[in-house]
Structure 1
């Protein structure tokens, strides 16, 4: 194994340690020192591969976007025989399930400072998922300003995820799961389901 293989392996180990840490303990636990400790390297080692803490966090967040994108693509591909509206419902469920079962990663993925810095092209990693959303919204509402409607729907889903994780929506709506809220969001942005 040459040194480039060692470097690639250590870089991947640092990212994996960060993914594990954010999954188990949340975004607030992602210090360079703790990631290095869990990767089994000195606390200064991450700086060789990630010159700033923000770059390492961006690499970890990128993994989250990749995971969410793969889950979304798989779920939509599995429902291709369904109507675009049903595919949007499936996509919305996957998005909300991911957000609520991976709260630390979800929080990291949408950190303003990471998205603003756009390290490692982090913004672009969300574009394929948004593209799928735009495509499906366009099939349901071709007359609309499709990117705007898709953006509003995404913002609505993001809000549901945040407020559900805080317990606010359960308190105010009495809902036991987020599915009725998902359907209400789809109705609000796409019109009532014609079924």
Structure 2
């Protein structure tokens, strides 16, 4: 005869609610604390209180899970960047995204971790790239007649500045420079020094 306790255990094991979201959130926590190398579907299943095979139903394998993390990362990234149009403000958002989502930031820029040809990931990545291109376009539409090569170089310079600043921030190499300042404000001061006001 099945008891309420047995029924409760069965429900936890097989009807977890939004297991996909739970596993994704747990994966992000593990990556933030221990890095992507520590990620294991079996461990995530244990954390979620489900069978070791349950995560594979949603993600197939570890690479599928990391593809989902990267897709979520690019979606959140594009959402944040699209709220502003000025490159400098987008750069500040870039830095804020890295500070607020270090695990996502870590995964999205390591394409060897995930399936780059995944349609949802490709769409999210292209949306983020489009938003960034639009922000950088403001730097090259000053009537100077900049050609496509100039626009591309400016885009790479702008990306390098924002990404480099974010990476240095996450590795705690800007502590002295920040001196207690908000990282976004500090980035804006650097962007102004490089690109002008």
> 2-side partners of 1:167 and 1:159: how far apart?
12
**How many Å separate the matches in 2 of 1:11 and 1:167?**
32
Instruction: Indicate if the aligned counterparts of 1:72 and 1:95 stay in contact, CA closer than 8 A.
Output: yes
Task: State the match for 2:6 in structure 1.
Answer: none
Q: Quick one: distance in 2 between partners of 1:119 and 1:41?
A: 30
After TM superposition, the structure 1 = structure 2 runs for residues 36-115 of structure 1, keeping only pairs within 5 Å, are 36-73=45-82, 75-76=83-84, 87-114=86-113
Unaligned runs of 5+ in 2: 1-14
Pick from 30, 33, 46 the counterpart of residue 39 of structure 2.
30
Number of aligned positions between the proteins? 174
Q: Residue in 2 aligned with 1:169?
A: 174
- Structure 2 residue matching 1:104: 3-state secondary structure: helix
For 1:183 and 1:130, locate their aligned partners in 2 and report how far apart those are by CA, in whole Å: 24
From 161, 180, 186, the counterpart of 2:186? 180
TM-score, normalised to structure 2's length? Answer: 0.71
Per-residue CA distance 1:14-62 (angstroms, 9 max, x = gap): 3344345445665454221222123332122222332321111110221
Task: Please identify the structure whose Cα radius of gyration is greater.
Answer: 2
Structure 1 gaps, min length 5: 1-5, 77-83
Secondary structure in 1 aligned to 2:163?
helix
TM-score (norm 1): 0.72
Compute the displacement of 1:166 (Å): 1.6
Distance 1:114 1:170 in 2: 29
Shift of the 64–174 alpha-carbon distance from structure 1 to 2, 3 Å rule, reads: closer
